[in-house]
Amino acid sequence: MPAGFEEELELGRVVTEPPQWALNRPDIIEELARPGRVALTGGIASGKSTVADIFQSLGAAHIDFDLLARRVVEPGGPGFAAAVDLLGPGVVNSDGTLDRPKIAGLIFSDTGLKTGLEKIIHPLCWELMGQELTALADRLGVVISVPLLFEAGLETFFKTIVLVFVETEIQIKRLMKRHEGLDREGARRLIDNQWPAPPKVMGSTYVLNNSGSPAEAACQAESIWRSINNLKRP
C-alpha cells in the first residue's frame, strides 16, 4: 500500500481531499455533474483502454487522461519546461521530445520526483479535460479515463465511476509481457505503487472484472453501459 494512504469511508464511498486546483474550476465541476459523465479507472494493466474502446463502440465519447498527459509535456506544451526543470535536461531526446522510458525509470525509483511531476501534469490535464468536455457538451455519454482517479482525489467530482478490476497474477503477467525485461518483482512494485483494489471497489458505482476473456469483458461493459443510460435490451 502506498505510503501515506489513509482510508475514510462515507456512505460506502472512499472520501479523499480534493486538490485545490480542481476546486478552483467550478465550471469544470459543473460539467462533470451533468448526466452521462462517467469516470473510468483501474490499476495498471487492468485493461482500461480495452473497456474504453468497448464503451466507444456503444456510442460513448472518450477523454483519456493519459493522452492529455502526453499533450501537456510535448515540446511547446504547457508543462514541458516545468517537467524538464524538475527532471533535468537529460530527459530530453535529441529531437527535443521527452525520453519517456528514462522518466519512467526516474520516477519509479524516486517518489518525490513522481509526486512533483504529477503536481505539474494533473492540473494541466484537468484544464484540457474541461476544454474537451465543453466541446462535447451535446454528447449524452462521455467516458473519462483517469488512471489515478482515487489517488489524485478526483473521485468526489464524479457521480458515476466504473472500476476495471483484474486479478493480481494476471496483472503481473500482462505487465511483464508489455514491458520487455521487467521481472516479476518489478511488476509487483509497479502494482504496489497504486492504491489496492478494495477501497477502489468500495468507492465505485460499477466494477468490471477483466480477468477473463475479451468477450466476457464486452458483455459486462455493455450491461454497465445500459444500466448507466437506463437502456433496455433490444
**Could you give phi then psi for residue 160, rounded to 5 degrees?**
-125, 125
Residue 12: predicted pLDDT: 44
80 pLDDT band, cuts 50/70/90, is very high
Residue 10 vs residue 71, higher pLDDT:
71
230 pLDDT band, cuts 50/70/90, is confident
233 pLDDT band, cuts 50/70/90, is low
Q: Give the 3-state secondary structure of residue 7.
A: coil
pLDDT in tens, 114-157: 889 999 999 999 999 999 999 999 998 999 999 999 988 999 99
**Mean of all residue pLDDT scores within the chain:** 88
2 pLDDT band, cuts 50/70/90, is very low
Residue 13 vs residue 156, higher pLDDT:
156
Q: Cβ neighbours of residue 167 under 8 Å, at least 6 residues apart?
A: 211
pLDDT in tens, 95-108: 999 999 899 888 87
Q: What is the mean pLDDT of residues 9-29?
A: 77
Element (DSSP H or E) covering residue 102: helix 100-109
Residue 104: predicted pLDDT: 84
Radius of gyration for the chain, computed over Cα atoms and rounded to the nearest angstrom: 18
Question: Beta strands of 37-117 (E only): which ranges?
Answer: 37-42, 61-64
Name the percent of the chain in helix, strand, coil, to the closest 5: 50, 15, 35
pTM: 0.87
Q: Cβ neighbours of residue 123 under 8 Å, at least 6 residues apart?
A: 19, 21, 22
Say how far residue 17 (Cα) sits from the centre of its chain.
Answer: 17
Residue 154 vs residue 233, higher pLDDT:
154
**Residue burial 126-151, b: 16+ Cβ < 10 Å; e: rest:** bebbbebbeebeeeebbbbbbbbbbb
pLDDT in tens, 32-54: 999 899 999 998 888 999 999 99
Q: Which domains does the chain have, with CATH numbers?
A: 13-228 (3.40.50.300)
Residue 231: predicted pLDDT: 62
Residue 108: predicted pLDDT: 77
61 pLDDT band, cuts 50/70/90, is very high
pLDDT of residue 4 exceeding 70: no
Residue 158 DSSP one-character state: -
Residue 44: predicted pLDDT: 87
